Amino acid sequence: MASVELSERERSVLQAVIRSYVETAEPAASRTLARRFGFGVSPATIRNTMSDLEEKGFLFHPHTSAGRIPTEKAYRLYVDELMRIPPLEPAERQRLANELAQAGSAIESILRRAAQSLGVLTQELGIALGPRMDQTILERLDIVRLSFEKLMLVLTLRGGAVRTVFIEVKGEIADNALSEVQRVLNERLGGVTLGEIRLSLGERVRDSGVRGEATELLNIFVQEQEQLFDVAAAERGDAVVLGQASVLADKPEFASGEQMRRLIELTETRTELATLLRTRNAAAGVQITIGAEHGNSLPGGMTLVTAEYRAGGLSGVIGVIGPTRMPYAKVISLVTHTSTLVTELLA
């Protein structure tokens, strides 16, 4: 549709307006474009072309300026058809590799480092979503006594993540009973995903051979399997990892403070952010959503660029959030390469 809608001159001028606005944050004027990009036509011709682009919804004309700025429609056309993605500079490749090499082997550490590095290199807000925890395999389970009537369940998951859950019991349970139940649970649940455990714990511990207090404690696990192995916390936002929002503070889009306030609120609760990122999971390649395409999930005037990473049968996304005035080609190149590095590290 867009290819037919715009002439070659219109496409060239639109590219120039986007490039100028992304770099300067100032509305692009026809005389500036003529001088900088050398179209071989007069500023008046460029001005007429810009007027045509405005009528078609690709440019916007602020009251206080003779120049024009791109609309979300323009950014979408640019991303889909006009943009060329350059290869990543060797220095940037090496910097990313060095940063991630220091993250260790745990999924959460790798994602945190990756989000921070992406934020620094793109000057946007780096963001990552951990894998769906119900697909994560339980490596080991430990039961720790906290008090007379409270226990703590420590779940060590494949990939290095650890989750803790508190269990209320009626009266003190003997150490040998705790050890026996821990042994049975590790034997029957080790190597099984959390989602499968929640659905089949009762069947898996049937005929365990435990007696007395151990039987009572094991029954508590069976009765409360939905809560004890509930991974909904990750779906509510705990699995969202962020870089530093402060990298956005100097951008003119946040000069009024209202946009930054809304973004900080979003990053503090993270619930809507987790839901939004989950919809992008398990989709190949880079996904770019701009402005109103997010509905109410992000503050207005924002762009989200993500790419999927994989860790065996698990997957998540990594990327950046920033204003629609974004150097898309560079950001996409960095996000793509980072997702590849994360996949390689997790493998």
Instruction: Supply the CATH number for residue 128's domain.
Output: 3.30.450.40
Check residue 237 and give its pLDDT: 46
Which of 119, 149, 170 is CA-nearest to residue 320? 119
Check residue 248 and give its pLDDT: 85
Are 251 and 114 in a shared domain? Answer: yes
Structure tokens at 310: 């994989």
Among 184, 214, 230, the domain-final residue is 230
Q: Which residues of the chain have pLDDT under 70?
A: 1-4, 64-65, 105, 159-160, 230-238, 281-283, 312-313
Q: CA separation (Å) from 213 to 155, 173, 217?
A: 22, 7, 6
Check residue 337 and give its pLDDT: 94
Domain count, the chain: 3
Check residue 234 and give its pLDDT: 43
Are 243 and 202 in a shared domain? Answer: no
Among 230, 256, 291, the domain-final residue is 230
pLDDT digits (tens, 9 = 90+) for 49-100: 999 999 999 999 887 667 899 999 999 999 999 999 988 889 889 999 998 8
CA dist., res. 250 & res. 277, Å (int): 26
Are 128 and 239 in a shared domain? Answer: yes
The residue with tokens 């925890």 is 133
Are 294 and 282 in a shared domain? Answer: yes
Check residue 288 and give its pLDDT: 95
Among 173, 206, 230, the domain-final residue is 230
Are 55 and 168 in a shared domain? Answer: no
Angle between helices 107-122 and 90-101 (to 10 degrees): 150
Are 242 and 342 in a shared domain? Answer: yes
- Give yes or no for a contact between 337 and 90, defined as CB atoms under 8 angstroms apart: no
Check residue 38 and give its pLDDT: 81
Q: What is the CATH number of the domain that holds 163?
A: 3.30.390.60
Check residue 231 and give its pLDDT: 57
CA dist., res. 29 & res. 345, Å (int): 47
- Give yes or no for a contact between 306 and 294, defined as CB atoms under 8 angstroms apart: no
Domain interval for residue 246: 90-132+234-346
Count Cβ atoms below 10 Å from residue 66 Cβ, excluding itself: 13
Check residue 233 and give its pLDDT: 46
Q: Which amino acid is at 131?
A: P
Are 258 and 337 in a shared domain? Answer: yes
Are 176 and 246 in a shared domain? Answer: no
Using DSSP's 3-state secondary structure scheme, residue 143 falls into strand
CA dist., res. 109 & res. 97, Å (int): 14
Are 341 and 242 in a shared domain? Answer: yes
Check residue 235 and give its pLDDT: 46
Are 156 and 126 in a shared domain? Answer: no
Are 119 and 251 in a shared domain? Answer: yes
Check residue 314 and give its pLDDT: 72
Which stretches of 71-185 are assigned E, i.e. beta strand? Answer: 125-129, 138-147, 150-157, 162-168
Are 118 and 192 in a shared domain? Answer: no
Q: What is the CATH number of the domain that holds 20?
A: 1.10.10.10
Which of 307, 325, 305 is CA-nearest to residue 316? 307
Check residue 131 and give its pLDDT: 77
Check residue 283 and give its pLDDT: 66
